[in-house]
Amino acid sequence: MNFHIQPATVQDLPVINDIYNYYVTRSTCTYQTDPETPESRREWFARHDAAHPVIVVEQDGQVVAWGSLTQLHSRQGYRVTVEDSIYVRHDMHRRGIGQAILLELIQAAKTLGYHSIIASISADQDASVELHRKNGFVQVGRLREVGWKFDRLLDVMYMQLMLDAIPNIRPV
């Protein structure tokens, strides 16, 4: 499969939003229940910068997936850790795209000097749990029945990848 990973641009936001909103209405991989608006997506993108990249995967000139590293928490003491997100277009699963995105995000996090990456995953999302597990993430916590979607309670699993022993603390 030929695909290309590159930084996302503002022009990619409609497709990023379409990919995400597919899962909002059909999946527990996000606990968001109302589709993301274009305005909210632009605000989300504006909160990402060189230290918190958003990437896209293009195949045959079309964006088919995206991933991001997001600030874990607004308090500065958390600046050594990021959270990853990966969304692959629903008809492009099982082609190695999620794996490629995760590897790219892990490398970016290392290059940027982060200490760890957190994945917050709905515990019923076996493919996402397995993707993270096979790339070195370990389960560090589970919050029972904290999500509600499609008339059922859902657990959230926290997985973590330690990138190095001593964080490279970037200036604030």
Is residue 132 assigned to a domain? Answer: no
Q: Which of 143, 140, 135, 150 has the alpha carbon at shortest distance from 98?
A: 135
Q: Please indicate, yes or no, if residue 100 is contained in any of the structural domains.
A: yes
63 found inside a domain: yes
pLDDT of residue 60: 92
CA distance 117 to 85: 10
Domain that holds residue 31: 4-118
CB 159 within 8 A of CB 140: yes
Q: How many domains does the chain have?
A: 1
pLDDT (0 to 100) of residue 83: 97
Q: Are strands 62-71 and 54-59 parallel, antiparallel or unpaired?
A: antiparallel
Token pair listed for 104 = 């790219």
Q: Among residues 160, 62, 64, 54, which one has the least CA distance to residue 105?
A: 54
Residue 61 lies in a domain: yes
pLDDT tens digits, one per residue of 71-112:
999 899 999 999 999 999 999 999 999 999 999 999 999 999
Q: Give the domain CATH number at 46.
A: 3.40.630.30
- d(Cα 124, Cα 42) in Å, to the nearest integer? 29
User: Of 158, 120, 98, 95, whose CA–CA distance to 29 is shortest?
Assistant: 120
Closest to 65 measured CA to CA, from 88, 98, 84, 95 = 88
In sequence order, which ranges of the chain are alpha helices (DSSP H)? 13-26, 38-46, 97-111, 126-134
pLDDT, position 164: 74
Residue 138 domain-assigned (yes or no): no
Measured in degrees and rounded to the nearest 5, phi and psi for residue 147 equal -110, 150
What pLDDT shows up at residue 135? Answer: 95
- On whether residue 166 sits in a domain, the answer given is no
Which segments in the chain show pLDDT lower than 50?
165, 171-172
Q: Is residue 99 in some structural domain?
A: yes
Q: What is the pLDDT of residue 163?
A: 92
Query: Does residue 170 lie within any of the structural domains?
Result: no
